[in-house]
Amino acid sequence: MPDRRGLLIILSSPSGAGKSTLSRRLRDWDPTISFSVSATTRAPRAGEVDGRDYHFLTEAGFKREVADGGMLEHAHVFGNFYGSPKGPVETAIDGGADVLFDVDWQGAQQIQNSSLGQHTLSIFILPPSIDELHRRLKTRGQDSAEVIAKRMQKSWDEISHWAEYDYVLINDDLDETEARLKSIVTAARLKRIQQPWLNEHVKQLHAEFEEMT
């Protein structure tokens, strides 16, 4: 038996608040954390690789996966379908490895309410201000002015769900936010439910105790 069960770590934020940057830093810190590669019906962006960034599916293929029960959660975001395939998550957490999810609030709600809900750790990332959020979206230089405007418009919808998460981080100073994120993950890994082997350990302690008395 692995020495612990894996966690489903959910990171959500309005686009531009720093979720991808923090996900990357968390996985650099502990490369055993795997990333849940979502499925989507949107077209790949320049540089995106099928199977690494997303599993790019047709709408019919996506709907078939959902009907077959293959998605842990799914949602309609910015006019496209997105979902998290279930199989790789179950394999990872049973083997004691954490899985990181970059999903919106709809995905977070569904994962928290799923059969794996008790093993989730949900974290919401807030920007220090709306001006700064806008600045980060512009300096990232990935999207057109039109797409940035759309993301800014959607940001309040995402922020309005902040209170549904276990933890909330204001991503002002990046290094400080990273340190807090690591502390949260370290603590969640020590939750009793994440350490099923404890029963055996306590049984062993009991046997030793009985022997001594």
Q: Which of 16, 18, 107, 127 contacts ligand 5GP by CB under 6 A?
A: 107
Choose the one of ligand ADP, ligand 5GP, none that binds residue 84, judging by a C-beta under 5 to 8 angstroms depending on kind.
ligand 5GP
> What tokens does 110 get?
């569904």
Number of residues in contact with ligand 5GP under rule CB under 6 A: 15
Total residues found in the chain within this entry:
213
User: DSSP letter string over the chain?
Assistant: --SSPPPEEEEE-STTSSHHHHHHHHHHH-TT-EE---EESSPPPTT--BTTTBEE--HHHHHHHHHTT-EEEEEEETTEEEEEESHHHHHHHHTT--EEEE--HHHHHHHHTSTTGGGEEEEEEE-S-HHHHHHHHHHH--S-HHHHHHHHHHHHHHHTTGGGSSEEEE-SSHHHHHHHHHHHHHHHHTSGGG-TTHHHHHHHHHHHHHHH-
Q: Which of 64, 140, 201, 203 contacts ligand ADP by CB under 6 A?
A: 140
Binders of ligand ADP in range 6-25 (CB under 6 A): 13, 15-21
Which one, 93 or 159, has the nearer CB to ligand ADP?
159
Q: Under the criterion CB under 6 A, does residue 42 sit at the interface with ligand 5GP? A: yes
Choose the one of ligand 5GP, ligand ADP, none that binds residue 38, judging by a C-beta under 5 to 8 angstroms depending on kind.
ligand 5GP
| Shortest Å, Cβ 82 to ligand 5GP | 3
> What tokens does 96 get?
């004691």
Stretch that binds ligand 5GP, among 80-88, 126-134, 159-167, 199-207 (CB under 6 A): 80-88
Stretch that binds ligand ADP, among 41-49, 56-64, 75-83, 169-177 (CB under 6 A): 169-177
Residues near ligand ADP (CB under 6 A): 13, 15-21, 136, 139-140, 171, 174, 177
Residues near ligand 5GP (CB under 6 A): 15, 38, 42, 73, 75, 77-78, 82-84, 102-104, 106-107
